[in-house]
Structure 1
Amino acid sequence: MDDATGERAWTRRLAVLAVVAAIAVSTIYLPQALLTDLAENLGVAPGAAGVVATTVQAGYALGILLLVPLGDRVQVRTQVTVQSLVLAAALAASAALPDLVGVALGFLVVGLVANIAQIIIPAANRLAPPHRRGAATGTLVGALVIGIFGGRIVASLLVDAIGWRWVVLVFAGLVLVALPFVRRALGGELPVEGLPQSYGRLLLSTFVLARRSPALVQSAVIQFFVFATFNSIWTVMVLHLTAPPFDWSVLGAGLFGLVGLAAGIVAPFGGRWIDRFGPMPVVGVALAVLLVATATIVVDATAIVLFGVTMFVATWANQAIQSANQSRALTANPGRTAPANTFFMFMVFLGGSTGAALGPLAFADGGMPRVGELGVVLVLLAGVTWVLAALHGRRADAAASVS
């Protein structure tokens, strides 16, 4: 196979992996889009139905810790297959359960096994040609954004016509339809990455690796603050757009997710910059862009066109930073990409949950401008971490040159 043919084959495989990652991650955001219909159907208040959105996120975080490290113990193709089948079954069961407690528990299982993208990303990093690894990570991170916003949009469009239960079944069907394609894309050439060890040691190795890898911890902490910024803003978006002066419908506010979707589509282009300039410069530039965007929210939150542009830029910057940080974390730990990705994504979702908690508090205190101010603080904390990481890297390089 010549180089051009090999490049085309890899591009096709990466496209399949990106689609599957997007479908999987979209399932954990379904309850947010379906909340009103779900509450009416189950005969509960929307606030009570919100427990479903909480349990699926909790399940996802737990799954990252408990299941993603298995990439060091079992073959990726096998793990993705099993989790896809369980995910489809959990979605179908959740759609059939009659009461709130049952649906919440069903979505807890959905979240637990929906972390397929976090298994695919380190696998793609190993499958990709060395000069395409940054682009591969950028493509898959962009696919996650498409899944996050695209899933919300599709669910919002379908729910009035077919109801929340059938929407969930549609997504279960998508998971099953994608399974043969992802199995082929992963192939059979990826061996188990780590040495055989007990499951307990496997889980412990994630935190041992973090202690030994400054690059991993630095990248994860930066992304903690960046994703906290992202979630603090997007969590209150519906509240902002359905309130004066806009007074949009919930569907209209949901369709504002097209802004985030557009940012996800262009996100993969940032991967080329990672391959060309390295992850740390990309993180530094994108943090500056994100800082400007969050500061702009303070003054343009009521000007919808300008606000839409600001949110596009902020979402793109978040994805560019995550692509660079994740690429740096994985590249710094060759042969241990599964535990590295586990720690990295655990920190990402820890930051996301922090932002989701802080965003509504800031919004209640001063509306979207206050959320923008919160974002500025979080981005500045990420910037301080970036500066410290850059100084640490320079000292390490200087010490290596002397020795």
Structure 2
Amino acid sequence: MSVDERDWGRRVSVMAVIAATGVAVIYIPQPIQTLVGAEFGVEGSATAAAAIAIQAGYALGVVLLVSLGDRYSARRQVTTQLVATAIALAGAALASSFALYVALCFVAGATATIGQILVSAALRLAPPAVRARTTAVLLGSFIVGLFVVRTALGAVADAIGWRGALVACAVFVLALVPLSLRFSPRDAPAEPPAYGRILASIPRVAARSATLRIMTGIHVLVFAAFIALWSMTTVHAVGELGLSVSQAALLGLAGLAGGVATIAAASVHAIVGQRLSLATCVGAALVGVVLVTIAPGSLPVLVVGLFLVSLGMNSEQVSTQAIALASVDPSENGRANTVFMGATFFAGAIATAVAAQLVAIGGYVAVGILALVLVLTAASLAVVADRRGMLGGRPAGRAPGGASA
């Protein structure tokens, strides 16, 4: 490995910590939703309002803010958004009503899109020899951050209250500002387009690349299954399995293991190729969903199933996101990532809302059936992508003969 590649590896490690924190923010409401609901007198599916709001805010932030990576340096943008996110979390900790808490969670979600900004910048700047590993490390850090929050925050909230837990999160986010100033990429486009032109061109970027659209569709479906299951895990564990909030939070270790496994398998994607990699990842998610659906009352089976769903979703994203962004001009990476991740988190917000209704009607099994339908649809779309030559063997972005999706 060259000196430049070693230096890049150190930078990626720090960026992974920052990116993981940004993604972790949008899952903060989930492990504490029963505690927040109890304080404000909110019951049932209504307690999921903050979880839905923070994901919807994140999706909006992806659309309005991530595309600015085609205009400003990642260092400037990430640092600014870290400060804004810390302020929003601190405000949520002081909220005097459930409505205000939900609104501030929405704001925190919108400003927490720092991970997506760093992914776009890293894919543009990474040395070719380590680009695949860079993607896997950053995306693996997302799920590690997510489940560190899920695992730790429930226990912290049990000990010091949900408000104290949110203050601790705000302080941690703010502490990352010096690291962002030093390690986030400083490169900015030489001739950046105007912000209005960037937003207006997003639909055109999506329209020009069938690969971008289909890879986005695959990931949207798998992620929706993933978030539907995990958003209701605490409700299921506390309400149906009889666990405490802190005990339910330990289920996050299954997801954390999935994130660690994603990072450990970073080099495998390039070795086995896009077709086999994607098939294996979607297959793992499918097996996990089946296990969760047929035996939601068995804690060991639930843990294994959630691990496989987490590993499958995150590893699938390594393939689909890399293929999607490679199908557009490098100068449009920020906008392509806006399409990819904006659709992902809008779908996540919808999946969370639907799952909250389903769990009230048919329990966790009903949520599992929803997830099963979503992953099977994703698998079908992956077959379409393979037949169109998008998983290797033909130019990215177009199907054989120039047809588009």
Please report the TM-score for the alignment, with normalisation by the length of structure 2. 0.90
- The residue number in structure 2 matching 1:340 is 336
Distance 1:399 1:303, change over 3 A: same
8 Å contact kept, 1:225–1:382? yes
- The residue number in structure 1 matching 2:281 is 286
Indicate whether 1:160 and 2:158 are aligned. yes
| Structure-2 separation of matches of 1:338 and 1:163 | 38
Which runs of 4 or more aligned residues in structure 1 lie more than 6 Å from their structure 2 counterparts after TM superposition? none
Distance 1:87 1:374, change over 3 A: closer
Q: What is the SS of the residue equivalent to 1:137?
A: helix
Distance 1:157 1:326, change over 3 A: same
Indicate whether 1:267 and 2:265 are aligned. no
Alpha-carbon distance, 1:257 to partner: 1.0
* CA offset digits 1:21-42 (Å, max 9, x no partner): 111222222222223433454x
- The residue number in structure 1 matching 2:234 is 238
Query: After the TM superposition, which residues 4-403 of structure 1 pair with which residues of structure 2 at under 5 Å, given as runs?
Result: 4-41=2-39, 43-46=40-43, 50-188=48-186, 190-192=187-189, 195-244=191-240, 246-333=241-328, 334-393=330-389, 399=401
* CA offset digits 1:265-308 (Å, max 9, x no partner): 11123432222333343112222222222223333323321331
8 Å contact kept, 2:30–2:234? no
| Structure-2 separation of matches of 1:72 and 1:283 | 28
8 Å contact kept, 1:298–1:368? yes
| Structure-1 separation of matches of 2:305 and 2:35 | 31
Most deviating of 55-64 and 255-264? 55-64
* CA offset digits 1:356-391 (Å, max 9, x no partner): 233344444543344333322212211111111111
| Structure-2 separation of matches of 1:278 and 1:112 | 35
* CA offset digits 1:106-144 (Å, max 9, x no partner): 222211111111101111112221121121111111111
Structure 2 residue runs without a partner (length 5+): none
Distance 1:309 1:37, change over 3 A: closer
8 Å contact kept, 1:33–1:156? yes
Distance 1:234 1:398, change over 3 A: closer
Q: Which amino acid aligns with 2:354?
A: L
Most deviating of 258-267 and 229-238? 229-238
| Structure-1 separation of matches of 2:93 and 2:296 | 37
Most deviating of 372-381 and 360-369? 360-369
8 Å contact kept, 1:16–1:181? yes
8 Å contact kept, 1:326–1:344? yes
| Structure-2 separation of matches of 1:352 and 1:138 | 21
8 Å contact kept, 2:59–2:344? no
| Structure-2 separation of matches of 1:18 and 1:148 | 12
| Structure-2 separation of matches of 1:237 and 1:342 | 28
| Structure-1 separation of matches of 2:188 and 2:139 | 24
Q: Percent identity?
A: 34
8 Å contact kept, 1:153–1:257? yes
8 Å contact kept, 1:133–1:275? no
| Structure-2 separation of matches of 1:316 and 1:61 | 22
| Structure-2 separation of matches of 1:204 and 1:30 | 32
* CA offset digits 1:174-232 (Å, max 9, x no partner): 112112112222243x2227x53332221121211000011111100001111111122
Structure 1 residue runs without a partner (length 5+): none
8 Å contact kept, 2:73–2:185? no
More helix by proportion, 1 or 2? 1
Q: Which amino acid aligns with 1:267?
A: T
Q: What is the SS of the residue equivalent to 1:271?
A: coil
Q: What is the SS of the residue equivalent to 1:29?
A: coil
Please report the TM-score for the alignment, with normalisation by the length of structure 1. 0.90
Alpha-carbon distance, 1:252 to partner: 1.3
Q: Which amino acid aligns with 1:325?
A: T
